[in-house]
Structure 1
Amino acid sequence: MDIRQFLACALLSAVSQAHCAESLIVHEWGTFTSVQGADGVQQHWKPLIAADLPDFVYSSATRNGGFANVVLVDQTRKDQTVGVLRMETPVIYFYSDRELDVDVRVSFPTGRITEWYPQADSIGPYSVAVDGYTRFDRRSIIEWKGVRILGPASNAISADELIRDREDAHARHYYAARATDANLLRTQSPHARSKAEYERDLFYRGIGYQSAPLKVKVSADDSSLALASEEPVPAAFVLTIRKDMMRFHELGSLTPGAERLVQLDVEPFDAAINVQGRVMKEMVATLISQGLFPKEALAMVETWKDQWFEEEGTRVLYVLPAAWTDRMLPLDIEPRPDTIVRVMIGRAEIVMPSISRQLHRDIVAFDSANAHEQQRIVASVRKLNLGRFVLPAIEMASITPDGHRFMDAASRLSSALNKPAAPKIAASVAVEAGP
């Protein structure tokens, strides 16, 4: 059975389960991205690029997210904030054979919610003046109250009829999540821009300050990775992309406490366009095996295919343990759904030793270079195609083995860099969810 047939069969089963077996099913997917050096230490970092979301998405950095008489404690833009993890695009879907209202609360005890849509009823941490006194709520939460799950008949509204920006080419990471069979949602928060807002899912993003469970160390010659997880990992992939060449290793599950050695040069490089289709199909199948419906799995892969499967670099994509997700990001829904499935992917972006050595040479040279030489060095760094990970890579490379830091030179080099666009593979491979 090929991937098309497999997805078609799985889709029929999923639709049957969603609309026949149970009255309310909730599914969620999202990603957590970390940056690690050769020693496996997860870095505090911020990206070089600005937000890639539509303008209608609410943000803690924009007029307190639209909340009246409330001051959000953390109003810094996400792309200007340092954290260990970037919590990227969790979306919550609802499947019901009847209309009903639900209250939804997501807690993030070791992080901050930074963007969301539709508008929420409350978000924290915040401060508010009550009777002349300032009251602080330090919980990091987001709550939607009275979310109306519209009946299946309302699903005739297509994704193209939902709110969009006029200029939305930069915001594809948001729209791909709509391409599912989930029930349409209507919210009526008093803080919303309009009386009612409609969407296919509840969307939010944030920054985390606690490390992910997977640590990845790299050999000095870039030839091997040593993966160690504190908790069981259901599935993992290693991808390496250089210019228009790509290779990947499918690792299966990882046992907690047991180190898994991966010899990178065992798998040869192939044209990226040839490999991309295979790894996308494997990822879709893995997400389905973890409980997502086929269209949800495809929507997740489509959302991140440019960053996962086209950006140059070496990364590990892995299914985060369900227990870790529930601790990191508790989800409460009332009335309680019959089934809740949450599938989060961890992305460990690895700054290889050879890259760090090159960056260190550039930093040292930049420290004493004249203006013309500095321009040449900046051009050299851009050619490494580190994209949004260039700032943490430079920071790691600024520290010598004896602890001496070239922080000032590294800071000036970072400031001199523009915001480069990640290179694109000329063609892409479509993965279909059914006939």
Structure 2
Amino acid sequence: MVTASTSRRRTLPFFLLATLIAACSGTSTSDSGGLNDGAPPDQQPAPDVPSAPDLAYPGKGFIVHEWGTDTVVVGSDGSFQPGLHHEEEDLPAFVYDRLEAGSLDGSTSTSVNVKMETPVTYFYAEEPLDAHVQVAFRKGIFTQWYPAVHSFDPPIFAPNTVAGVTTYTDPALDPEFPFGSPVCAERYGALAHSYIEWGTIEILGRDSDVRLPEAPLDRFTWAHARQVGANPLRVAGVPGAMEAPQHERFLFYRGLGNFDLPVRVTAGTGGAISAENTLGEAIGTVFVLNVGASAGAFVAHPEGIASGGTLVERAPSLDGAPPLDEFVEALGASVIDALDATGLYHDEAVAMVNTWKRQWFRTPGVRVLYLAPEAWTDASIPLTIDPTPEDMVRVMMLRVEVLSPEIEAADVGAARRLADPSLADDAARHFDDLGRFAEPRLRRALALLGEPAYGAPLLARIAAGATASAARE
């Protein structure tokens, strides 16, 4: 994956990687048990998380809670914009991922239109127990996870397992991979039908004294997700691979895919927003945000959108809007209230908002946030846990970055300037300053201009390059 910084990221050469059949006969041996490339990461004590006064684990039963987010960029006509493999929140070095998605020339990662981010899964039990956990992604592939998984699919091809392949290669993200047959290409080359399997995890006692891999909060938003009252988890070592057990307070995974979201969002001039519910069930709370460099405004619709209904709204004006810090505080409290109402525990809702508030609330732009129905989440990323929890809550807050006609016009104007050598550098800065959304916005502008050749060099550089957030603190 292309990341926001140059900090170390563990990639699959440090796994027990797939040593697949030499001719790609269709038999997968994708065990990937998390090879440790040296000494274990620095450790830090698990946080002492007090129980929330309400909406907390009742102390009885086996309960699982999960929260996460999907991110998309849509044109004013509602069309999804590809190029969402970039990131602006760097992950700690101990997190596992597939081969760097952006490092492959022409990688199909640039064609993805949905970035599934930070589903984290918490486990609660009054006594220690073991559970077998697997999650599937029907219309995408998992790209990152922690702790180490027992197996994953589609697999990575190891050197010399296929003719012409001399390095670790990801066939799902490499459009030039030399598949031996159409059947093999269909089986291993699709951005779909992915799974990761942790095998058996140990849900430790609630008072267990464990030490977690270091993820300083001043460097990684990862640590916000730890500030909950969930049981700590342990994944046992794998002989010959990951020798030491790994501990965390949740299971983490992330992915890329191409699929429709429950709400189709379009934009008109003057801030007009239309959000159409395409599902046969209601959408949860909806937020419409307008974030500027120093101020922000939002409107909330706690009633959501009825099945088949359409919400017509206008992005609130920034004229007279509250200062950014005041806006962030008010919006954060409103989103936490909405998350509390889903059945998440209060500390989980706070952890989710703290994890994403910089990106959601401080990144300039017009966006729509809404709560997807749990049935949609279950169908998109089915989670299998054995034994079956007595209660499970899964919450996905979907983030739609909206390219209004005014935003598109500004991007088109900048893209036109790429044709003039005296203006090209200034035009390139316009897109570079957009961070992770530079690629989808440049692609949209060039599409509106008819894909002029003068835009290709900048697009190629941005598509393969690292990103930096426009609102990085």
Q: Tell me which interval the TM-score lies in, with the shorter structure as reference length.
A: 0.7 to 0.9
Q: Report the Cα offset of residue 341 of structure 1.
A: 0.5
Return closer, same or farther for 1:412/1:76 CA change in 2, 3 Å cut-off: closer
8 Å Cα contact 1:223-1:263 kept in structure 2: yes
- Partner of 1:153: helix, strand, or coil? coil
Whether 2:326 is the aligned partner of 1:258: answer no
In structure 2, what is the equivalent of residue 91 of structure 1? Answer: 120
Report the TM-score when normalising by structure 1.
0.81
Return closer, same or farther for 1:164/1:407 CA change in 2, 3 Å cut-off: farther
In structure 2, what is the equivalent of residue 246 of structure 1? Answer: 296
- One-letter amino acid matched to 1:318: Y
Whether 2:70 is the aligned partner of 1:32: answer yes
Q: Report the Cα offset of residue 76 of structure 1.
A: 6.1
- Partner of 1:249: helix, strand, or coil? strand
Report the TM-score when normalising by structure 2.
0.75
Return closer, same or farther for 1:263/1:290 CA change in 2, 3 Å cut-off: same
8 Å Cα contact 1:35-1:350 kept in structure 2: yes
Whether 2:423 is the aligned partner of 1:373: answer yes
Of residues 264, 268, 289, the one that matches 1:215 is 264
- One-letter amino acid matched to 2:329: G
Q: Report the Cα offset of residue 299 of structure 1.
A: 0.6
- One-letter amino acid matched to 2:248: E
- Partner of 1:325: helix, strand, or coil? helix
Q: Which stretch shifts more, 110-119 or 207-216?
A: 207-216
What is the count of residue pairs matched by the alignment?
Answer: 389
- Partner of 1:105: helix, strand, or coil? strand
Question: Over aligned residue pairs, what C-alpha RMSD do you find?
Answer: 3.1
Of residues 119, 130, 147, the one that matches 2:201 is 147
In structure 1, what is the equivalent of residue 153 of structure 2? Answer: 124
- One-letter amino acid matched to 1:180: V
Return closer, same or farther for 1:273/1:12 CA change in 2, 3 Å cut-off: closer
Return closer, same or farther for 1:235/1:188 CA change in 2, 3 Å cut-off: same
Q: Percent identity?
A: 30
- Cα deviations by residue, 1:131-169 (Å, 9 ceiling, x for unpaired): x99997764111111200001120x44xxx410258x75
Q: Report the Cα offset of residue 308 of structure 1.
A: 0.4
Structure 2, gaps ≥5 residues long? 1-49, 163-179
In structure 2, what is the equivalent of residue 270 of structure 1? Answer: 322
Q: Which stretch shifts more, 73-82 or 116-125?
A: 73-82
8 Å Cα contact 1:27-1:341 kept in structure 2: yes
Q: Which stretch shifts more, 120-129 or 286-295?
A: 120-129
In structure 2, what is the equivalent of residue 409 of structure 1? Answer: 454
Cα distance between partner residues in 2 of 1:189 and 1:32? 31
Return closer, same or farther for 1:267/1:234 CA change in 2, 3 Å cut-off: farther
Cα distance between partner residues in 2 of 1:364 and 1:287? 43
Cα distance between partner residues in 2 of 1:316 and 1:342? 20
Of residues 318, 324, 339, the one that matches 1:287 is 339
Q: Report the Cα offset of residue 189 of structure 1.
A: 4.9
Of residues 4, 7, 11, the one that matches 2:52 is 11
Structure 1 residues 93-112: aligned runs within 5 Å: 93-112=122-141
Return closer, same or farther for 1:51/1:310 CA change in 2, 3 Å cut-off: closer
In structure 2, what is the equivalent of residue 430 of structure 1? Answer: none
Return closer, same or farther for 1:123/1:51 CA change in 2, 3 Å cut-off: farther
Q: Report the Cα offset of residue 394 of structure 1.
A: 1.1
Structure 1, gaps ≥5 residues long? 1-8, 63-72, 426-435
In structure 1, what is the equivalent of residue 351 of structure 2? Answer: 299
8 Å Cα contact 2:84-2:440 kept in structure 1: yes
In structure 2, what is the equivalent of residue 225 of structure 1? Answer: 273
8 Å Cα contact 1:91-1:201 kept in structure 2: yes
In structure 2, what is the equivalent of residue 5 of structure 1? Answer: none
8 Å Cα contact 1:60-1:76 kept in structure 2: no
Cα distance between partner residues in 2 of 1:224 and 1:147? 48
Of residues 72, 84, 93, the one that matches 1:46 is 84
Whether 2:95 is the aligned partner of 1:57: answer yes
Q: Report the Cα offset of residue 411 of structure 1.
A: 2.7
- Partner of 1:234: helix, strand, or coil? coil
Of residues 204, 219, 224, the one that matches 1:176 is 224
Return closer, same or farther for 1:378/1:102 CA change in 2, 3 Å cut-off: same
- Partner of 2:408: helix, strand, or coil? helix
Cα distance between partner residues in 1 of 2:103 and 2:258? 16
8 Å Cα contact 1:46-1:83 kept in structure 2: yes
Cα distance between partner residues in 2 of 1:79 and 1:301? 31
8 Å Cα contact 1:395-1:407 kept in structure 2: no
Q: Which stretch shifts more, 325-334 or 206-215?
A: 206-215
8 Å Cα contact 2:142-2:253 kept in structure 1: yes
8 Å Cα contact 1:105-1:141 kept in structure 2: yes
8 Å Cα contact 1:49-1:79 kept in structure 2: no
8 Å Cα contact 1:31-1:345 kept in structure 2: yes
Return closer, same or farther for 1:320/1:75 CA change in 2, 3 Å cut-off: farther
- Partner of 1:91: helix, strand, or coil? strand
Greater helix fraction, Structure 1 or Structure 2: 1
In structure 2, what is the equivalent of residue 338 of structure 1? Answer: 390
Structure 1 residues 357-368: aligned runs within 5 Å: 357-367=409-419
8 Å Cα contact 2:291-2:297 kept in structure 1: yes
- Cα deviations by residue, 1:79-118 (Å, 9 ceiling, x for unpaired): 9543121010101100000011000010101110000000
Return closer, same or farther for 1:200/1:285 CA change in 2, 3 Å cut-off: same
- One-letter amino acid matched to 1:11: A
Q: Report the Cα offset of residue 10 of structure 1.
A: 9.3
